[in-house]
Amino acid sequence: MASFEACELFSSDLGHEMVDKILSDIRKLVPENITRLLPAEELDPAVLFLLQQVQDTMTKDDNICISCYIDTATPYRSYAEALKAVEGVLEVTWEELNTGHWSKVPPGPRQLYTAAAIVKIEALLRSCQKEHADRTELLHTAVKTADLGILLGAPLTNGDFSMTRVAGLLSDALSALSSGSGPQEEVSQPSGSTESSSVVIDNIPGVRGLVLNSLDRPSLERFRASHFGPRIPVKLTGCITHWPALILWTDINYLKKVAGARTVPIELGDHYVHPTWSQKLMTVGEFIEAHIVAQMDENTPIGYLAQHPLFEQVPELMSDISEPEYCCLSDSLDDNAVTEETDINAWFGPKGTVSPLHYDPKHNLLAQVIGEKRILLYHPNESENLYPHEGSFLNNTAQVNPEEPDYKTFPNYKNSVAWECHLKQGEMLYIPPKWWHHVRSLSTSFSVSFWWK
């Protein structure tokens, strides 16, 4: 992918030229007859008809002057109408994706969502070429459309179209545009970075635990024998000190530059079992402004970019970290067992984010890139002392809150044994499968989790 750092040297015209180049590159990636790439038998013919009609209409007027284009024989007289029609396809497919459990949504509708997002981006890029077009706004909409395509859609089976690549190119075009039109908005923080000063930990309310063991760069074999095999949590030091992220991400403007325009899901509210908890889509830039650098008061809801596969969405950030070697360990004795890819998730938020006491089914390495977190851990055998929620939702989440223990309602909780870990920048925590954990950020914090089987 091209780098546009040099663009600041160019005049505004050259910035626009650069943008034109990127936009024409993207348009070359857009497949023709897009609905042919979709599983027609699984999808509503009305939706496919509408989507193809929009694309055909746009393709037809390739050689016609847009501004003077009037042809009553074609269904759409303007890109605005084409956009409206393709948005209808996105909306109706979104409704389909929200029907039934997300994990059971078949690939057909998700591919349809991707295809419709492509056509919408195509329409937006064509609008960019009109005179007096607000290119910045159109490109922001296009990046958002691409990100929603990544978040909700699925790759098309035929063809080598990559939404991740398109989103990256659009984000580059936006950078080129803004560097061509003047200095980028920089966030200045009191400390000038996301790096936190030392944190006072004694005033965390509630229970405390036994101090968790720590190992410095254990060999693969030692880690397997003493922790992975017997499923015992441990803090690992010295394992990620070589990650460029430890330096790069302390500069919040770096994160804004690389991912600022990208749309991500943000959790708002105390934590995911709190009644006022909700999820909102916003750009990384908006999130940083509103929840990381903003002056917080008690009425500001805490925002948390939690459990999000950011590194799939923005591969550029993946080069700042690396998957720990320990993730190649497997419970299976069979060497030929099919190993699934490790799930890599980002956890980025201000001081005070909480993940309530819960467990996950996979092995977990939690790497602390920025700031500090406090983690309480309980052995899987403690489940009956922790009162898991009943029903099909939240049955991996405990009703007890270690920070406000209610021994009247949950009397067995006092029998439980907690382990405690303060995870600092550059450290990593191994959480075995089914181990209960409660996580609180003690400062602005960016963690990366690696889940594997």
Partner 1 sequence: MKLFYCGFNEFGQCPSASSSTVSHLIEFPLSDVEGACVSWSCVAVLTGSGVYVSGFVGGLTRQLKRLTIPNTQQVLQVSCSRGHMLVLLASGECWRYSNKSDSWRRIDHFMRVERELTHKDNGIDPVVSVCCGVTFDVALSKSGCAFVVPSPIYYPGVRVTQVACGSEHCLLLTETGQVFSWGTGSRGQLGHGDLESEQEFARQVDSLAGLHVTVVAAGSWHSAAVTECGDLYAWGWNHSGQLGFCTGENRVKAKLGQAAGPKKLKTENTDEVTILNVPLPVVWPLEQEVNVVDVSCGSRHTIVLLDDNTVWGCGWNAYGQLGISPEHVQCTWMMMKMELPDSSSGIVLGVECGAWSTAVFLA
Residues 38-77 that bind partner 1 (CB under 8 A): 44-47, 49-50, 53
Size of site (CB under 8 A) for partner 1: 32
In the three-class reduction of DSSP (H, G, I as helix; E, B as strand; rest coil), residue 164 is classed as: helix
Q: CB within 8 A of 107, min separation 6: which ones? A: 39, 154
Shortest distance, position 275 Cβ to partner 1, whole Å: 10
The type of residue at 418 is: A
Shortest distance, position 101 Cβ to partner 1, whole Å: 7
Given the rule CB under 8 A, which of 15-23, 208-216, 298-306, 339-347 is the region that contacts partner 1? 298-306
Q: Which is nearer to partner 1, 63 or 392 (CB)?
A: 392
Considering the rule CB under 8 A, would residue 188 count as an interface residue with partner 1?
no
Cα→Cα distances 72→32, 54, 77, 78, Å: 24, 15, 7, 11
Shortest distance, position 303 Cβ to partner 1, whole Å: 10
Shortest distance, position 76 Cβ to partner 1, whole Å: 9
| Beta partners for residue 234, in sequence order | 430
Considering the rule CB under 8 A, would residue 91 count as an interface residue with partner 1?
yes
Residues 365-424 that bind partner 1 (CB under 8 A): 391-393
Given the rule CB under 8 A, which of 87-95, 182-190, 211-219, 312-320 is the region that contacts partner 1? 87-95
Cα→Cα distances 304→110, 202, 265, Å: 26, 24, 9
Six token digits for residue 109: 């509708």
User: Which residue, 307, 22, 330, is CA-closest to 180?
Assistant: 22
Q: Which is nearer to partner 1, 230 or 391 (CB)?
A: 391
How far is it, in rounded angstroms, from Cα 261 to Cα 268? 19
Given the rule CB under 8 A, which of 89-97, 243-251, 307-315, 376-384 is the region that contacts partner 1? 89-97
Name the CA radius of gyration of the chain, rounded.
Answer: 25
Considering the rule CB under 8 A, would residue 33 count as an interface residue with partner 1?
no
Q: CB within 8 A of 167, min separation 6: which ones? A: 143, 146, 147, 149, 150, 262, 313
Considering the rule CB under 8 A, would residue 297 count as an interface residue with partner 1?
yes
Residues 223-282 that bind partner 1 (CB under 8 A): 268, 276, 278, 280, 282
Q: What is the dihedral of CA 401, 405, 406, 412, to 10 degrees?
A: 90
Shortest distance, position 278 Cβ to partner 1, whole Å: 6
The residue ranges that bind partner 1 (CB under 8 A) are 44-47, 49-50, 53, 81, 84-85, 88, 91-92, 95, 98-101, 268, 276, 278, 280, 282, 286, 290, 297, 299-301, 391-393
